[in-house]
Amino acid sequence: MVRTRAHMVAMSLHVAAPTICITEEEALNTYYSMTLYNPALARHISSVEVRLSHPIRHLLQKLQRILRHLSHIDTLIIQIPPISVPECRTLFGSIRFPNLILFSGGTLPHKGIHQFLLRNPGIQTLILKRCVGRSDCSCPTVPSLNISEISGPSTCIAPLICGSPLLRVTATYDRESDNHISLFASFALLSANITYLSLDFAAIPRDFDILKSIAAAAPFVMSLELIQKCASGELIYPWNDAVRWANDLRSLSYLTLFSLRTSASLIERVGHKADERRLIRRWSGDAMQFPPQLRAIDLWYRLYRKSEPGLASFWKRGRLGWQRASSTAISYRTL
Classify residue 331 by its DSSP letter.
Answer: -
**What integer pLDDT is reported at residue 16 of this predicted model?**
46
Residue 326 lies in a domain: no
Average pLDDT, the chain: 84
Task: Say whether pLDDT at 3 is over 50.
Answer: no
Residue 82 lies in a domain: yes
**Helix/strand/coil for 46:** coil
Task: Say whether pLDDT at 97 is over 70.
Answer: yes
- For residues 278 and 176, which has the higher predicted lDDT (pLDDT)? 278
Tens digits of residue pLDDT in 149-180: 999 998 888 888 877 888 999 999 877 677 88
Residue 144 lies in a domain: yes
Task: Say whether pLDDT at 13 is over 60.
Answer: no
**What integer pLDDT is reported at residue 12 of this predicted model?**
45
Tens digits of residue pLDDT in 128-149: 998 765 555 667 777 667 899 9
Residue 67 lies in a domain: yes
Residue 189 lies in a domain: no
Residue 143: give the domain boundaries: 18-166
At 8, is the pLDDT very low, low, confident or very high (cuts 50, 70, 90)?
very low
Q: Exposed, middle or buried: residue 231 (CB in 10 Å: 0-12, 13-18, 19+)?
A: middle
**Cα–Cα nearest to 26, from 46, 2, 6:** 6
**What integer pLDDT is reported at residue 95 of this predicted model?**
92
Tens digits of residue pLDDT in 251-264: 999 999 999 999 88
Residue 174 lies in a domain: no
Residue 312 lies in a domain: no
Kindly provide the residue ranges of all beta strands, DSSP E only, lying in the chain, ordered along the sequence: 19-22, 47-51, 75-79, 102-104, 125-127, 149-153, 168-172, 196-202, 223-229, 257-261, 296-301, 310-318, 321-330
Give the residue-averaged pLDDT of 208-223: 93
**What integer pLDDT is reported at residue 17 of this predicted model?**
56
Domain count, the chain: 1
Give the residue-averaged pLDDT of 233-253: 88
- For residues 286 and 55, which has the higher predicted lDDT (pLDDT)? 55
Alpha carbon separation from 90 to 63, 64, 128, 132, 155 (Å, rounded): 10, 8, 19, 19, 25
Residue 255 lies in a domain: no
In three state form, how does the secondary structure of 176-239 look?
A: CCCCCHHHHHHHCCCCCCCCEEEEEEECCHHHCCHHHHHHHHCCCCCEEEEEEECCCCCCCCHH
Task: Say whether pLDDT at 91 is over 50.
Answer: yes
Q: Distance of alpha carbon 249 from its chain centroid, rounded?
A: 23
**What integer pLDDT is reported at residue 1 of this predicted model?**
41
